[in-house]
């Protein structure tokens, strides 16, 4: 799409109206996953392995089945036996099935092994104690580096795909290598080469709403599923495969969703509830406890990384190399490839090479978490850049500006960048008062850049006009953070009717075509693009009706400010015909007027951000306080700026948690030791300062209004920016996350992070 065609003057887009679902969400009226009930409903509960790795010798459920309150018990035998195992991600349905209900082995602490449906939630929980499972405990491994060594326990033979070079441990299941130039020659040209190693621990998406669903599946193979999900079509497709029923026979309705951040892009309890319902022939509700969420849903990957970067005295990067090992639980899927591809993406490099490993261990199956893989790589790379700047006495922003990727740069992962906004974010950072504000003693400042690809994905949208001139818009992407508002703004912009006259509904799987998950920062981009095109489709029909009424050719009619008008003086002299005047008679002038759009848009437009952080380290306790935080990020075009700011602030806050507090802690026994919010501490209001935002707008040529996704990039820079701030404040380089008080104290004591 040429930029000339792009709209740049807006009436509705860029304003900050109240969100359409605001009233429901401040009054308690909005229905989330656990808020659904059905007549005759049973409650499901899931029995989980206490072992990190164990062969399931025998499951005896006879006592549970004999209990009068228990109406069904299911194990792996109650799911489809037609789901095929394949290496890597080729057999993802099998991987999901194996995760939602263990087969021959329990693969991590918390792995589901059986489930019951009973007449109350308490009865279901009690019934779990009646199921006897005989385990043969096997050696386990939870650390990524240990999982790759020769004598590590093998999680599953044959899971490695074609990409893995020979000679690696069977736990290495996917391998990625990319880059360009000659890194060895590049290191030879450098005045200073720094080589260092870094680790990050697994963190959880930490959405406040646990997974919840209400399922009904009859003997006729027809089912209904209500669940909290980022994508109900993928839930439909996956559940149908796992239950061995036809996809179209299962109708899935997405509830309001209480946070996802990537963690609700797959299924966990939904197939189990359907299997229980089929067996009991009654609706079954399952709601996870917080502990189940931590133990058995997707955290992010843990990572171990080696970085080598060469720099000249003037700050020019001569070569960069990174090795990224990501552990993603007992299944393929850790985004080592994404980490590798994103790590050096902000820079215009002559010589770059990156390697990514996807490694299995006895932990829960990782799930996407906001720019999956990117924050870890940025942490490692941007820490080394900071150290190079420190040792060469260079300003870290100037060095990034000097090396920044720009329009036409060849990206570290291959393609050539179109119009991008990184330089603009760096210039805004340099001009921002935060960057030149004086620091108090004990404080340090850190900066970092961050990159994320963004995604398009399969998208369907329908828009139907009503007789009174109002419009109903049906989208298929669950509204996680105010997307109904941005959809209505874009539709209003095209139709020229007030924002308030548009009702946006997240349609169920039976009433709209396939929609990819709300992920990849794709909703405002892809559903937005489809909304604009569906509205334009309706406008074409409105213009046709006006043309017929006026007796002039349709190309002599144009749409302006909510009315059909003659396109020029030669078209004739007619008064503007408002939308409501056309729809009032639409039944008699050709029938209902709707607009549709279905496509897989490819022009998502990459996104960059730059963060500035001030941190203060207490040398006595090792506790870090974030004293000032500024996010600068390219949004392409901010449709509803308040919710764009919200994405920036939320990404930064999650990054602060990841950097300072959050981690999965495993004992020697392979059991997760901190599976409640008291012990897995996410940032609370008193931990954080206000988070300032600067919205940069460098239009994305791939969207009619210039939108780039904004959801994910905001979590990429914080780990590194905070680590740089803390390292500068403490005077020691911090190489391992989280930078918890004991770890900082140890670093201060030894003089080395």
Partner 1 sequence: MSKLHVSTTVNGDSVEFLCDPRETLLDCLRDKLNLTGAKEGCGTGDCGACSVTVDGRLVCSCLMLGVEADGKDIATVEGMADGEELHPLQQKFIEYAALQCGICTPGVLVAAKALLEKNPNPTEEEARYWLAGNLCRCTGYDKIIRAVMDTAADMREAS
Is residue 372 part of the contact set for partner 1 (CB under 8 A)? no
**Minimum CB separation from partner 1 for residue 7, in Å?**
24
Instruction: Kindly report each contact of residues 392-398 with a partner whose C-beta sits within 8 Å and lies 24 or more positions away, as own/partner.
Output: 392/191, 392/192, 392/311, 392/313, 392/315, 394/315, 396/447, 396/724, 397/426, 397/429, 397/430, 397/435, 397/447, 398/315
**Minimum CB separation from partner 1 for residue 518, in Å?**
11
What 8-state DSSP symbol labels residue 591?
S
CA angle, 445 then 451 then 455, to 5°: 150
Q: Which of 678, 742, 750, 751 binds partner 1 (CB under 8 A)?
A: 678
Q: Are strands 607-617 and 212-217 parallel, antiparallel or unpaired?
A: unpaired
Q: Which of 162, 686, 742, 751 binds partner 1 (CB under 8 A)?
A: 686
Is residue 27 part of the contact set for partner 1 (CB under 8 A)? yes
Q: Please identify, using beta-carbon distances, which residue of 258 and 605 lies nearer to partner 1.
A: 258
Is residue 22 part of the contact set for partner 1 (CB under 8 A)? yes
Is residue 67 part of the contact set for partner 1 (CB under 8 A)? no
Is residue 206 part of the contact set for partner 1 (CB under 8 A)? yes
Is residue 665 part of the contact set for partner 1 (CB under 8 A)? no
DSSP string, 692-727: EEEEE----TTSTT-----TTGGGSSHHHHHHHHHH
Q: Which of 10, 15, 30, 94 binds partner 1 (CB under 8 A)?
A: 30
Q: Residue 75: is the preceding peptide bond cis (ω within 30°)?
A: no
User: Biggest alpha carbon distance in the chain?
Assistant: 86
Q: Which of 1, 57, 77, 122 binds partner 1 (CB under 8 A)?
A: 122
Q: Please identify, using beta-carbon distances, which residue of 122 and 665 lies nearer to partner 1.
A: 122
Compute the distance between CA of residue 382 and CA of residue 390 in angstroms, rounded to an integer. 12
Question: By CB under 8 A, which span of 373-381, 469-477, 497-505, 688-696 interacts with partner 1?
Answer: 688-696
User: What does the chain come to in residues?
Assistant: 753
Is residue 129 part of the contact set for partner 1 (CB under 8 A)? no
Is residue 690 part of the contact set for partner 1 (CB under 8 A)? yes
Q: Which of 676, 731, 749, 752 binds partner 1 (CB under 8 A)?
A: 676
Q: For the chain, what is the radius of gyration of the CA atoms?
A: 27
Question: By CB under 8 A, which span of 108-116, 418-426, 593-601, 649-657 interacts with partner 1?
Answer: 649-657
Q: Which of 3, 11, 16, 218 binds partner 1 (CB under 8 A)?
A: 16
**Minimum CB separation from partner 1 for residue 352, in Å?**
33
**Minimum CB separation from partner 1 for residue 694, in Å?**
14
**Minimum CB separation from partner 1 for residue 380, in Å?**
24
Q: Please identify, using beta-carbon distances, which residue of 36 and 349 lies nearer to partner 1.
A: 36
Binding mask 221-260 for partner 1 (x = CB under 8 A): -----------------------------------xxxxx
Q: Which of 301, 649, 724, 728 binds partner 1 (CB under 8 A)?
A: 649
Question: By CB under 8 A, which span of 85-93, 453-461, 640-648, 740-748 interacts with partner 1?
Answer: 640-648
8 Å CB contact between 79 and 97: yes
8 Å CB contact between 144 and 304: yes
Q: Please identify, using beta-carbon distances, which residue of 277 and 654 lies nearer to partner 1.
A: 654
Distance of CA 576 to the CA centre of its chain: 45
Place of tokens 């150290």: 387
Q: Which of 38, 89, 90, 121 binds partner 1 (CB under 8 A)?
A: 121
- Helices 336-343 & 374-392 angle (0-180, nearest 10): 30
Is residue 688 part of the contact set for partner 1 (CB under 8 A)? yes
Q: Which of 13, 56, 130, 287 binds partner 1 (CB under 8 A)?
A: 287
Q: Which of 146, 290, 312, 503 binds partner 1 (CB under 8 A)?
A: 290
Q: Please identify, using beta-carbon distances, which residue of 625 and 748 lies nearer to partner 1.
A: 625
- H/E stretch holding 581: helix 579-584
Compute the distance between CA of residue 304 and CA of residue 325 in angstroms, rounded to an integer. 5
Strand residue runs (E) in 279-327: 284-287, 302-311, 317-327
Question: By CB under 8 A, which span of 65-73, 181-189, 287-295, 700-708 interacts with partner 1?
Answer: 287-295
**Minimum CB separation from partner 1 for residue 552, in Å?**
45
Burial class (CB in 10 A: 0-12, 13-18, 19+), 606: buried
Residues 6+ apart with CB under 8 A from 549: 577, 589
- Where in 479-508 is the site for partner 1 (CB under 8 A)? 480-482
Q: Which of 677, 701, 746, 748 binds partner 1 (CB under 8 A)?
A: 677
Residues 6+ apart with CB under 8 A from 52: 108, 109, 140, 142, 362, 666, 669, 670, 671
Place of tokens 């900066």: 447
Is residue 613 part of the contact set for partner 1 (CB under 8 A)? no
Residue ranges binding partner 1 (CB under 8 A): 16, 18-19, 21-23, 25-32, 34-35, 37, 120-122, 205-210, 256-261, 287, 289-290, 480-482, 640, 642-643, 645-646, 649-650, 652-654, 676-678, 682-688, 690-691
């Amino acid at each position: 799409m040429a930029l000339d065609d792009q709209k740049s003057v807006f009436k509705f887009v860029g304003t900050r109206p109240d969100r359409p679902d605001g009233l429901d969400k401040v009054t308690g009226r909005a229905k989330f996953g656990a808020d659904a009930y059905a007549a005759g409903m049973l409650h499901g509960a899931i029995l989980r392995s206490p072992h990190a790795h164990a062969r399931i010798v025998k499951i005896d459920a006879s006592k549970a089945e004999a209990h009068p309150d228990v109406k069904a018990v299911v194990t792996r035998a109650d799911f489809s036996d037609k789901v095929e195992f394949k290496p890597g991600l080729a057999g993802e349905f099998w991987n999901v099935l194996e995760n939602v209900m263990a087969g021959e082995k329990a693969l991590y602490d918390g792995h589901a092994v059986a489930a019951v449906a009973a007449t109350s939630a308490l009865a279901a929980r009690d019934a779990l104690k009646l199921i006897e499972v005989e385990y043969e405990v096997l050696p386990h491994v939870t650390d990524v580096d240990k999982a790759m060594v020769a004598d590590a326990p093998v999680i599953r033979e044959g899971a490695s795909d074609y990409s893995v070079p020979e000679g690696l441990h069977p736990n290495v299941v996917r391998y990625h290598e990319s880059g360009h130039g000659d890194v060895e020659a590049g290191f030879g040209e450098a005045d200073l080469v720094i080589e260092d190693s870094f680790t990050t621990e697994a963190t959880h998406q930490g959405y406040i709403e646990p997974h919840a669903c209400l399922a009904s599946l009859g003997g006729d193979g027809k089912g209904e599923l209500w669940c909290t999900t980022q994508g109900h079509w993928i839930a439909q497709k996956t559940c149908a495969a796992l239950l061995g029923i036809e996809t179209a026979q299962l109708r899935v309705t997405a509830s309001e969703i209480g946070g996802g951040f990537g963690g609700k892009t797959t299924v966990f309890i939904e197939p189990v509830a359907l299997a229980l319902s089929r067996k009991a022939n009654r609706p079954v509700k399952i709601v996870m406890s917080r502990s189940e969420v931590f133990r058995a849903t997707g955290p992010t990957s843990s990572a171990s990384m080696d970085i080598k970067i060469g720099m000249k005295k003037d700050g020019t990067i001569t070569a960069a190399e990174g090795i990224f090992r990501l552990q993603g639980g007992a299944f393929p899927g850790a985004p080592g490839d994404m980490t590798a591809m994103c790590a050096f993406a902000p820079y215009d490099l002559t010589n770059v090479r990156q390697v990514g490993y996807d490694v299995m261990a006895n932990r829960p199956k990782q799930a996407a978490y906001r720019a999956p893989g990117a924050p870890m790589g940025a942490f490692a790379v941007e820490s080394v850049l900071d150290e190079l700047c420190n040792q060469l006495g260079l300003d870290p922003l100037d060095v990034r500006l000097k090396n920044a990727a720009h329009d036409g740069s060849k990206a570290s992962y291959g393609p050539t960048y179109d119009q991008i906004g990184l330089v603009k974010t760096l210039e805004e950072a340099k001009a921002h008062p935060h960057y030149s504000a004086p620091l108090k003693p004990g404080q340090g400042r850190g900066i970092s850049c961050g990159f994320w690809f963004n995604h398009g994905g399969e998208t369907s949208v329908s828009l139907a006009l009503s007789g009174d001139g109002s419009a109903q818009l049906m989208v298929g992407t669950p509204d996680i953070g105010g997307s109904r508002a941005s959809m209505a703004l874009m539709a209003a912009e095209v139709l020229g009717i007030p924002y308030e006259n548009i009702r946006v509904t997240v349609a169920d799987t039976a009433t709209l075509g396939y929609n990819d998950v709300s992920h990849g920062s794709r909703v405002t981009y892809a559903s937005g693009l489809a909304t604009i095109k569906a509205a334009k489709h309706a406008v074409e029909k409105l213009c046709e009706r006006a043309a017929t009424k006026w007796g002039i050719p349709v190309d002599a009619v144009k749409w302006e400010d909510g009315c059909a008008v003659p396109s020029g003086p030669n078209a004739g002299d007619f008064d503007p015909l408002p939308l409501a005047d056309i729809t009032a008679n639409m039944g008699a002038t050709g029938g209902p007027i709707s607009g549709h759009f279905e496509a897989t848009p490819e022009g998502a437009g990459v996104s960059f951000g730059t963060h500035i952080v001030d941190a203060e380290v207490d040398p006595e306790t090792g506790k870090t306080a974030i004293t000032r935080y500024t996010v600068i990020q390219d949004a392409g075009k901010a449709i509803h700026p308040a919710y764009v700011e919200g994405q920036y602030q939320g990404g930064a806050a999650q990054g602060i948690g990841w950097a300072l507090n959050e981690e999965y802690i495993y004992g020697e026994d392979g059991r997760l030791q901190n599976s409640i919010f008291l012990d897995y501490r996410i940032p609370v209001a008193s931990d954080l300062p206000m988070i300032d935002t600067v919205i940069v707008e460098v239009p994305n040529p791939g969207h009619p209004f210039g939108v780039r996704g904004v959801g994910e990039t905001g979590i990429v820079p914080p780990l590194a920016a905070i680590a740089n701030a803390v390292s500068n404040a403490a005077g020691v380089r911090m190489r391992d996350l989280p930078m918890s008080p004991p770890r900082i104290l140890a670093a201060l004591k030894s003089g080395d992070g």
